[in-house]
Structure 1
């Protein structure tokens, strides 16, 4: 956590030195600070490894989620334009490995953010998440896609 704070401070310092306090400038400062910190800290330090590994997990998750968002948005947009929609809506239950309130809430929200899916409810025992999906040709395939894709990556990030 200390390295993250240092990285954020480097980012703000970069923005102030360049005279442009914007999202782009802060992002560039964060990336430059990230690379500077990798050079300044010895590789054997445990806190460096955990910080940089977690940062790379965040980047990989963001890229994966962006890809999922683009693909699902494209699928819904094409289906809306077509004269005969390919939708096969349905409600399915997905057994989940998420245990804490944060994990369950994040998973439900990420599922709801992708077009074509909506989280509906969590079972009383908190082991099943019910979702509505626009494309349920095979419920087992959808369950596998969510478990192996979104849930697995999200839990790697949060744990």
Structure 2
């Protein structure tokens, strides 16, 4: 596990903020379209997202980012903090939901924590 410096972590925080804003806007549009659709065609599901975070703060941060994004909410974490259970409004592919969370929020939270 390679540790990074302050500037790298600050940059990661800025990138994470931009990613969150993008996800907030995109998911808000999807939820609004769903809410106003004449025929609602969603497949809600609870998805288990395996986490590779090293701190409880990192797990909490990812869980909060997920919950603040419209259409998803964090439900629970496993006792060891290695699995985050997420309810998603529309799940066509469970692996895609897991990948989206891991490659956006989790990846950049790890970088903010100092992992490369």
The answer (yes or no) to whether the contact 2:13–2:108 under 8 Å persists in 1 is no
Q: State the superposition RMSD in angstroms.
A: 1.5
Greater fraction helix: 1
The one of 99, 104, 107 aligned to 1:149:
104
Q: Which has the larger radius of gyration?
A: 1
Q: Residue 85 of structure 1 corresponds to which residue in structure 2?
A: 40
Normalising by structure 2, we get a TM-score of: 0.88
Greater fraction strand: 2
Alignment map for 1:41-120 (pairs within 5 Å)? 50-120=5-75
Check 1:126–1:50 CA distance in 2 against 1; reply closer, same or farther (3 A cut): closer
Gaps of 5+ in 2: none
Gaps of 5+ in 1: 1-48
Between the two proteins, the alignment pairs up a number of residues equal to 111
Q: Deviations over 1:102-130 (max 9, x none)?
A: 01111111100000000001112321110
Normalising by structure 1, we get a TM-score of: 0.65
The answer (yes or no) to whether the contact 2:27–2:71 under 8 Å persists in 1 is yes
